[in-house]
């Protein structure tokens, strides 16, 4: 029946990533100890009165999607673990234990997997992560590396995406755009900065930028039930990058956070002393729902299935 609408025929490309995730996580079974389920940078497990909560994150990198086929696998291993560490950092937490799953062709050289593990070990040592287990499986597809990571966070320092309020100042660390030039493989997760922020300035909402500010800022605003005003001319850009690249390239692994506007001046002064080499830039403000313009040109960024 040409022209008839067939819901069974909808592909992931049609649906898009956000809608797919919303569809899959709706009504998932969650126990009473799950304080935060799917939708934030990490899940949060514990009881409200516990002093320390557990963080859980899973993430993957895939050949020809997240790295080129001939890429140095040491850098891929570093990236694979640091992506999840960046998510734990964005909650105000500390990474703890990693599990590694690798799917690989049986014709792959063992020396290439040694290199991959060298990168994983390097990141694990640098950020005090224990690699406690893993799985290696044969695949006929591209090389696939999954990292599942646990972390811990003190109850009083756990920062979600959902605590922002209208009027909060929006900040990003570092410079955005052009990550495919190399930073996407060699970035340093902002664990030090996030730890310091969570302890000293308690952001109301925070996340790491993985899909580009244009995709990620609306997610933080939505989670906080706010709109946002983005000052595009203020966005700190990697040298040579346009505003569009800074918005849409993705894989920046910088922090995006919202704090009460009254604390902004104090934050900026303290930041310059604490992190003199790392830019901190105020890029806008959270606003009331009534002023959201979700159809604005900024709502693009990276969609895995688009």
Q: Which of residues 21-60 bind a copy of itself (CB under 8 A)?
A: 21, 23-25, 27-31, 33-34, 37-38, 42-43, 45, 54, 56-60
Please check whether residue 157 is in contact with residue 89, taking contact to mean a CB–CB distance below 8 angstroms: no
**d(C-alpha 20, C-alpha 140), whole Å:** 26
Min dist. Cβ of residue 153 to a copy of itself (A): 15
Q: Rounded to the nearest whole angstrom, what is the least distance from the CB of residue 32 to a copy of itself in the complex?
A: 9
Which tokens hold the place of 42? Answer: 């990490």
Q: Considering only 138-146, 159-167, 195-203, 230-238, which stretch makes contact with a copy of itself by CB under 8 A?
A: 138-146
**Residues in 235-274 that interact with a copy of itself by CB under 8 A:** none
Count of residues in contact with a copy of itself, rule CB under 8 A: 78
Question: Do 63 and 142 form a contact (C-beta atoms < 8 A)?
Answer: yes
Minimum distance, C-beta of residue 236 to a copy of itself, in the bound complex (Å) = 28
Question: How many angstroms separate the Cα of 29 from the Cα of each of 25, 34, 58, 59, 293?
Answer: 9, 10, 18, 21, 33
Quote the Cα angle for 113-119-94, to 5°: 130
Nearer to a copy of itself, 168 or 252 (CB): 252
Which member of 71, 72, 131, 263 binds a copy of itself (CB under 8 A)? 131
Residues 149-178, interacting with a copy of itself (CB under 8 A): 150
Q: Which of 215, 214, 220, 202 is nearest to 262 (CA)?
A: 202
Judged by beta carbon, residue 91 or residue 197, the one nearer a copy of itself is 91
Q: Quick check: 86 binds a copy of itself (CB under 8 A)?
A: no
Residue from 133, 137, 142, 126 nearest 71 by CA: 142
Q: Which helix (H) or strand (E) holds 60?
A: strand 52-62
Contact positions with a copy of itself (CB under 8 A) in 99-128: 99-101, 103-111, 113-114, 117, 121, 124-125, 128
CB-nearer residue toward a copy of itself: 50 or 135: 135
Q: Which is nearer to a copy of itself, 45 or 223 (CB)?
A: 45
Provide the 10 A C-beta neighbour count for residue 273. 7
- Secondary structure (3-state) at 206: strand
In whole angstroms, how close is the CB of 211 to a copy of itself at the nearest point? Answer: 12
**Two tokens, residue 275:** 């992190």
């Amino acid at each position: 029946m040409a022209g008839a609408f067939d819901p069974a025929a909808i592909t992931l490309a049609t649906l898009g990533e956000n809608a797919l995730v919303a569809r899959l996580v709706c009504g998932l079974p969650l126990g009473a100890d799950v304080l935060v389920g799917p939708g934030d940078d990490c899940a949060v497990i514990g009881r409200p009165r516990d002093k320390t909560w557990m963080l859980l994150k899973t993430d993957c990198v895939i050949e020809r999607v997240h790295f080129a086929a001939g890429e140095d696998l040491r850098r891929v291993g570093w990236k694979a673990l640091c992506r999840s560490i960046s998510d734990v950092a964005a909650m105000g937490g500390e990474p703890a234990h990693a599990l590694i799953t690798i799917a690989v062709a049986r014709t792959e050289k063992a020396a290439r997997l040694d290199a991959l593990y060298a990168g994983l070990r390097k990141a694990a040592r640098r950020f005090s992560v224990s690699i406690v287990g893993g799985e290696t499986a044969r695949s006929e597809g591209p090389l696939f590396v999954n990292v599942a990571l646990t972390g811990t966070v003190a109850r009083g320092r756990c920062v979600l995406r959902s605590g922002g309020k209208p009027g909060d100042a929006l900040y990003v660390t570092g410079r955005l755009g052009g990550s495919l030039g190399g930073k996407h493989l060699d970035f340093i997760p902002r664990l030090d900065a996030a730890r310091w922020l969570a302890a000293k300035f308690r952001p109301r909402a925070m996340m790491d930028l993985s899909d580009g500010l244009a995709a990620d800022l609306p997610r933080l605003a939505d989670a906080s039930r706010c709109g946002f005003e983005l000052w595009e001319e203020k966005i700190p850009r990697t040298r040579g990058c346009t505003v569009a690249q800074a918005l849409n390239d993705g894989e920046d692994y910088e922090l995006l956070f919202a704090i009460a506007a009254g604390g902004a001046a104090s934050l900026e002064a303290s930041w310059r002393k604490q992190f003199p080499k790392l830019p901190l830039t105020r890029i806008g403000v959270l606003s009331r729902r009534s002023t959201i313009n979700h159809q604005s040109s900024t709502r693009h960024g990276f969609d895995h299935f688009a």
